[in-house]
Structure 1
Amino acid sequence: MASTIWRSLMRNKTFRYGAPMLLLIIGGSFGLKEFTQIRYDAQNLKRKMDPALEELVSKKRVSLESEFEKIKDSNYEDWKNVRGPRPWEDSKSLQLEQTNSAIPKQA
């Protein structure tokens, strides 16, 4: 009796081709889930910091106000805008020219 059922199932194209396809799709889904979980676990391990380093980083929190206080008293009156060299210009000669013009000439 079991052999007759098996033979009739093997003749059925839906069972013969559809069952392996469904098994592959469902099994592949579970397999991909495991592989992607390994990937995300490895990324999380890379991002973890040493506790001592994490303590140092948390101590060095910088606020915008504290940075403003540092640069508030800077003097920008004697600041000069210096142009960088163009790609077709020789950077060494341009730097020498700018340093020579920046040095006040004694007469």
Structure 2
Amino acid sequence: MNVILSKLQSYTQKKFFRFGVPFLVLIVAGSFGLKQFAQLRYTYSKKGTLTQEEAEKHGLVMKKPEEVTLETEFEKIKALDIDNWESVRGPRPWEDETMQQRASH
């Protein structure tokens, strides 16, 4: 019995067992606790799911995207006028947009 107590006492004097083990226990137990609290949020939420009709009524229905091909994108780019353009400097973070517009005109 004395051997076990002396070994236990020598382990409790080490920094890892005094600080590291409680820290690891806190991290692992905290993650499980946070999981339970997060689950409560979704379990007792008053928000319901939208039906298809409600989504259409509120305008939340996603439209089916058009098929994008290399040829259609090439036609869009070919239609652009790249010869006539004007270089316009955007405002700096410390400048007001109205100051920049006045300075360029």
* TM-score, normalised by the number of residues in structure 1: 0.42
Larger radius of gyration: 1
More helix by share: 1
